[in-house]
Amino acid sequence: MSSFSEKFVQIIQEHDLSIFLAFFSIVGAFVAVTKALSFWKLLFDLYLRPGKSLKQFGADTGAWAVITGASDGIGKEFACQLAAAKFNVLLISRTELKLQNLSNDIESKYQVESKTYAMDFAKGDKKDYENLKEIIGKLNVGVLINNVATNHEIPTPFILETDEVINNIVEVNVAGFLRITKIVLPRMISSNRGLIINVGSFSGMVPTPYLSVYSASKAFMSTFSAALGTELNSKGIVVENVNLYFVVSAMSKIRKSSWLVPQPKPCVKSILSKIGVSGGASNVPYSSCVYPSHALANWLITNTFNQSFWVNNGLSINEDIRKRALRKREREAAASKAQ
Ligand SMILES: NC(=O)c1ccc[n+]([C@@H]2O[C@H](COP(=O)([O-])OP(=O)(O)OC[C@H]3O[C@@H](n4cnc5c(N)ncnc54)[C@H](OP(=O)(O)O)[C@@H]3O)[C@@H](O)[C@H]2O)c1
């Protein structure tokens, strides 16, 4: 037995045991009450607490929302819902045709102005950022949605990942995200008003083996949001890292929604109706998680087992997904060879 354990047993033998029992009961009760209060706060946030009004950020006053990765999935839904709330929208992603079609739909459906800019964030082309600076400099921007991101194609051990995928993730999810934020901020600061939503992921909260670079890029986003949010708090600018679990989209490769995996529409609706409400992510400053099933999952992850448990759990899930993805690749290769 270690000297510490021996000393502990000796103390118990020498003293009245009831003192220790009382001490541990008080600690236990304190922990239970803290968890219960935190769960009630979660329910209050999700079902009773209203978010900040979008009017605070310029809705229906001719202000603009800039949305990256706007032509599909979650970004497209942000563009439509912000246009419905009467923001003009600047839509940015790679495919000009998809952007044009969305722009036409938005203008005819919501009677707002829209602009498009096609660029590949992975290229990190200086010219694109100079062009964007010029375009955005002329707009009264009230909202920025940092949504664009790229991911590993399938779960892959870091050592086996290609340099191209690693560079793309860093260029899009980290460098591009910082550059756009820096371009948009001066106008927000001078007008003392702004909302910056950074679309984050559970992967940023729980380190995710086999998606290591993506996971780290989302952790970067969460940390940066907390630091920037604190810097800008007194300037009327709200920064929010929005924590998401799976959502139906091309990136998640999930096509069917379920209780835990919503379509982008209800997910974005809950985010825009709960600005400033932390929900299941109340342990991280300037982060939120307000889609109910995601918020509950976020709360459980942070209030039950320790992080090593969830990291190891992620490892076994991704090992399994990788095996299935590799088998699928083999089948597809064999089928195309046979043709
Ligand atoms: N879906 C999920 O389960 C999930 C979970 C957690 C977090 N998220 C986060 O949610 C955000 C949106 O994801 P999503 O699922 O909606 O993805 P998605 O459906 O694949 O849409 C991605 C959008 O980004 C654009 N895009 C992709 N790469 C680009 C690049 N290099 N340069 C410019 N534009 C690019 C795409 O349009 P083009 O192809 O035309 O460029 C598309 O508009 C991401 O930040 C992601 O990390 C998603």
Tens digits of per-residue pLDDT, 303-319? 999 999 999 999 999 99
Across 23-52, average pLDDT: 93
Tens digit of pLDDT for each residue in 205-254?
999 999 999 999 999 999 999 999 999 999 999 999 999 999 999 999 99
Which of helix, strand or coil describes residue 72?
coil
Residue from 110, 117, 210, 214 carrying the catalytic annotation: 214
Say what the pLDDT of residue 2 is: 62
Are 115 and 90 a contacting pair, CB within 8 Å?
yes
Q: What is the DSSP string of 127-183?
A: HHHHHHHHHHHTS-EEEEEE------SS---GGGS-HHHHHHHIIIIIIIHHHHHHH
Does any domain span residue 336?
no
Does any domain span residue 104?
yes
Does any domain span residue 295?
yes
Does any domain span residue 130?
yes
Q: What percent of the chain is modeled with pLDDT above 90?
A: 89
C-alpha span between 14 and 264 (Å, rounded): 63
Say what the pLDDT of residue 240 is: 98
Does any domain span residue 279?
yes
Which of helix, strand or coil describes residue 55?
helix
Task: Tell me how many domains the chain contains.
Answer: 1
What are the residues whose beta carbons fall under 8 Å from the beta carbon of 220, sequence distance 6 or more?
A: 173, 174, 204
C-alpha span between 223 and 36 (Å, rounded): 27
pLDDT for 203 beyond 80: yes
214 included as an active-site residue: yes
Q: Which domain holds residue 227?
A: 47-317
Regarding the beta carbon of 74 and ligand 1, being less than 6 Å apart is answered yes
Which of helix, strand or coil describes residue 254?
strand
Are 242 and 200 a contacting pair, CB within 8 Å?
yes
Regarding the beta carbon of 311 and ligand 1, being less than 6 Å apart is answered no
Regarding the beta carbon of 73 and ligand 1, being less than 6 Å apart is answered yes
Regarding the beta carbon of 250 and ligand 1, being less than 6 Å apart is answered yes
Does any domain span residue 327?
no
Regarding the beta carbon of 269 and ligand 1, being less than 6 Å apart is answered no
pLDDT for 1 beyond 60: no
The enclosing H or E element of 201 equals none
Question: Probe ligand 1: pick from 251, 254, 291, max atoms within 8 Å of CB?
Answer: 251
Ligand 1 centroid – CA 27 distance (Å):
45
Residue 121 is classified by DSSP as G
Does any domain span residue 21?
no
CATH number of the CATH domain containing 195: 3.40.50.720
Which of helix, strand or coil describes residue 323?
helix
Question: Probe ligand 1: pick from 74, 271, 317, max atoms within 8 Å of CB?
Answer: 74
Mean of all residue pLDDT scores within the chain: 95
Does any domain span residue 58?
yes
* Atom number in ligand 1 closest to CA 99: 40
Tens digit of pLDDT for each residue in 268-304?
999 999 999 999 998 899 999 999 999 999 999 999 9
